[in-house]
Amino acid sequence: MGLFDGFRRARELARLEKDARERPSPITFGALAGKLIAADDLNRALEVVTEAMRLFPDSERVQQTYKYLKKSKLEKEMHEIGRTLATAPTPQLCNRLAHLYHRELGDLDKALGTLRDGVSRFPASGDLHLGIGEIRLARFHRDWLNKDGLEAIVHLKKAITIDPSNYKAHMYLANLYLEIGAVDKCSDVLRKVLKTTPDDGTALELMEKVKTVPSSGPTDEALLLEQVEERRGPLVDLSRLDIKVESAIFKRADLGRIAPEAAATSIRSFESLEGVIGAGMLDENGKCIAKCIPAKLDAAVLGEMIGLVTHAALDASLKMDIGSFARGTIEGSFGYFVLRRIGNHTLGILADENARPRDIDLAVNTFLGLIRRESQED
Amino acid sequence: MKDILKKLNQEVGVKGSVVVTHDGIVVASELGEGLEKDVVAAMAASVISAIYKALSRVNNAGFARFILTASYGKMVFVDTGTAFLVVVADKSINIDTTLLEIQSAALRIKTASEIKV
């Protein structure tokens, strides 16, 4: 490659950096990252995409690029592990691969799949059951779904049955019981820990906190988890109890609180979208908190449409055990009906056949950027 | 039809697929571990019914495709004329490539149904 090629490339990169800085969007960041990848500067590309993930956490394009870059860095190791797993599998290898999927790539689904596969081959491995428990806990803390909580309890208990000295499994289980309000069960688990290690600071601290939480109401795990799912949050907020726990696992889900005024202002950004018939946002109670209807469409009709499909999609996602419904696109001769979940709110955009899906995506990202800014200024 | 679904399931990230009528009757299915035919069929019928109901508020044309993305997976519903092809997949699939395969499978299913009739 000649000197002039080098100059041209450097100039192009500078232009793309400027673009990403002045007009931040998944596309401008994606273009910059793509150029850096082509130039084999994977480290810088990863920095760029990590910043893009921070700004546009819902962008699939950004997520996929991030995973690609992370995977490229880990490719050699993951390839070796995969090869060895095919011929000489061990629980440790399964765990290592799952760890890479979970912690490095953020791919909980693949991590869970790897561990499930491992457990089917090594059902007596406490570490694999602990691994599944951890993944299910991470999912639980993101979406607060009943099934994830139940599965976490099942696998953490299995890990403890296989190895009664498994400290991590005990503490995860104790914290989970406390979060769902199963105070007595939490105390039982902590007592077992303290029997083996009476000086354990974390267990002692948690035991003190447990004493401040009233023990009343249902004790059935399934019932308590149903309440958590309905609430979309824990019955006992550990952060309020000032308990130091492993932040990676017990990070609270961002519920995306949206100020109605911010939504009402920001939704006007859809007016310029070609083909738009109407855009609306429903809150967690199904009430329309913002709308923008340039064409002849009854706002109540749009609200009903958003509610109908969201309800069915949320239910379907739960039944298929694929987490929480995040977004949906319906296409037909009528045009497009696009839905996006933001915390417990749903944004819905109805557009005719003149609209382009890419423009709708851009408009949604613009809206999300505006709403975050407006909410911060509030 | 089962062969079409088997081939589709070989796509990276596809966990299972089913052909189901609008009211939830399974025409053909090839589902991976953890997916139950009756549950998938009932879920699909419910989603399809909700979408039809929603769209009937503005038109009666129905819909061609619905892509649902959740935290840890995707589902794709494609109209094959007399039924819907429903595919359950990982979240991390390359949607463009896999969609092409799904559309292709839907077209083959449509053709196969028309020939039968």
What is the residue type of A187?
S
Q: What b/e readout covers A260-273, taking b as 16+ CB neighbours within 10 angstroms? A: eebbeebbebbeeb
Q: What is the sign, positive or negative, of the torsion defined by CA atoms of A90, A92, A93, A95?
A: positive
Average pLDDT, chain B: 86
Residue A225 binned pLDDT confidence (cut-offs 50, 70, 90): very high
**Minimal-distance CA residue of chain B relative to A325:** B70
Residue A119 binned pLDDT confidence (cut-offs 50, 70, 90): very high
Q: What is the mean pLDDT of residues A370-377?
A: 64
Res. A369: pLDDT tops 80: no
From chain A, pick out residues whose CB is under 8 angstroms from the CB of B34: 321
Q: Do B64 and A332 touch (CB under 8 A)?
A: yes
Q: What is the mean pLDDT of residues A29-36?
A: 90
What pLDDT does A265 receive?
A: 81
Nearest by CB to residue A326, choosing from B53, B59, B71, is: B71
Q: What is the mean pLDDT of residues A2-19?
A: 84
Residue A211 binned pLDDT confidence (cut-offs 50, 70, 90): confident
Separation between Cα atoms, residue A177 and residue A187, nearest integer Å: 9
Tens digit of each residue's pLDDT (9 = 90 or more) over A242-264: 544 333 333 333 435 677 887 88
**Minimal-distance CA residue of chain A relative to B51:** A309
Q: What is the mean pLDDT of residues A45-50?
A: 89
Residue A123 binned pLDDT confidence (cut-offs 50, 70, 90): very high
Task: Give the A window 109-148 contacts with B, CB below 8 Å.
Answer: 109-110, 112, 139, 142-143
- The two tokens of residue A374 are 């407006």
What pLDDT does A329 receive?
A: 94
Given CB atoms, is B59 within the 8 Å cutoff of chain A? yes
DSSP label at residue B55? H
From chain B, pick out residues whose CB is under 8 angstroms from the CB of A308: 50-51, 53-54
Tens digit of each residue's pLDDT (9 = 90 or more) over A315-338: 999 888 888 899 999 999 889 999
From chain A, pick out residues whose CB is under 8 angstroms from the CB of B40: 320
What pLDDT does A8 receive?
A: 84
Given CB atoms, is A327 within the 8 Å cutoff of chain B? yes
Query: How distant is the Cα of A351 from the closest Cα of chain B, in angstroms?
Result: 11
Residue B115 binned pLDDT confidence (cut-offs 50, 70, 90): low
B71 close to A143: Cβ distance less than 8 angstroms:
yes
What pLDDT does B60 receive?
A: 66
Backbone angles phi, psi at B25, to 5 degrees: -90, 130
Average pLDDT, chain A: 84
From chain A, pick out residues whose CB is under 8 angstroms from the CB of B43: 315-316, 319-320
What pLDDT does A252 receive?
A: 35
What pLDDT does B117 receive?
A: 45
Query: How distant is the Cα of A187 from the closest Cα of chain B, in angstroms?
Result: 33
Residue A120 binned pLDDT confidence (cut-offs 50, 70, 90): very high
Given CB atoms, is A299 within the 8 Å cutoff of chain B? no
Q: What is the mean pLDDT of residues A50-57?
A: 84
**Minimal-distance CA residue of chain B relative to A135:** B72
Tens digit of each residue's pLDDT (9 = 90 or more) over B13-46: 888 999 998 888 889 999 887 788 888 888 999 9
Res. A217: pLDDT tops 80: no
Q: What b/e readout covers B74-97, taking b as 16+ CB neighbours within 10 angstroms? A: bbbbbbbeebbbbbbbbbbbebee
What is the residue type of A271?
E
Residue A362 binned pLDDT confidence (cut-offs 50, 70, 90): confident
Residue A312 binned pLDDT confidence (cut-offs 50, 70, 90): very high
What pLDDT does A106 receive?
A: 78
**Strand partners of residue A328:** A339, B68
Separation between Cα atoms, residue A267 and residue A71, nearest integer Å: 37
Helix locations, chain A, DSSP H: 3-22, 26-38, 42-55, 60-87, 91-99, 108-121, 126-143, 146-162, 167-179, 183-196, 201-210, 221-231, 260-266, 299-319, 357-377
From chain B, pick out residues whose CB is under 8 angstroms from the CB of A330: 51, 55, 63, 65-66
What pLDDT does A7 receive?
A: 82
Count the Cβ atoms, other than its own, within 10 Å of residue A49: 25
Q: Do A311 and B59 touch (CB under 8 A)?
A: no
What percentage of chain A carries pLDDT values higher than 70? 92
First vs last C-alpha separation in chain B: 14
CB pairs under 8 A between A and B: 128
Res. A305: pLDDT tops 90: yes
Res. A3: pLDDT tops 90: no
* Element at A233 (helix H, strand E): none
What pLDDT does A254 receive?
A: 40
Q: What is the sign, positive or negative, of the torsion defined by CA atoms of A362, A365, A370, A373?
A: negative
DSSP label at residue A271? G
DSSP label at residue A102? I
Residue B65 binned pLDDT confidence (cut-offs 50, 70, 90): very high
Res. A216: pLDDT tops 70: no
Nearest by CB to residue B71, choosing from A308, A324, A329, is: A324
Res. A18: pLDDT tops 70: yes
What percentage of chain A carries pLDDT values higher than 90? 31
DSSP label at residue B104? H
Residue B116 binned pLDDT confidence (cut-offs 50, 70, 90): low
Helix locations, A122-182, DSSP H: 126-143, 146-162, 167-179
Res. A21: pLDDT tops 70: yes
Q: Do B46 and A143 touch (CB under 8 A)?
A: no
What pLDDT does A70 receive?
A: 80
- Classify B44 as helix, strand or coil: helix
From chain A, pick out residues whose CB is under 8 angstroms from the CB of B95: 60
pTM here?
0.67
Q: Do A322 and B55 touch (CB under 8 A)?
A: no
What residues contact B73, with CB distance under 8 A and at least 6 apart? A109, A317, A320, A322, A323, B15, B88, B89, B90, B91
- Classify A167 as helix, strand or coil: helix
Residue A128 binned pLDDT confidence (cut-offs 50, 70, 90): very high
Task: Give the B window 88-117 contacts with A, CB below 8 Å.
Answer: 88, 90-92, 94-95
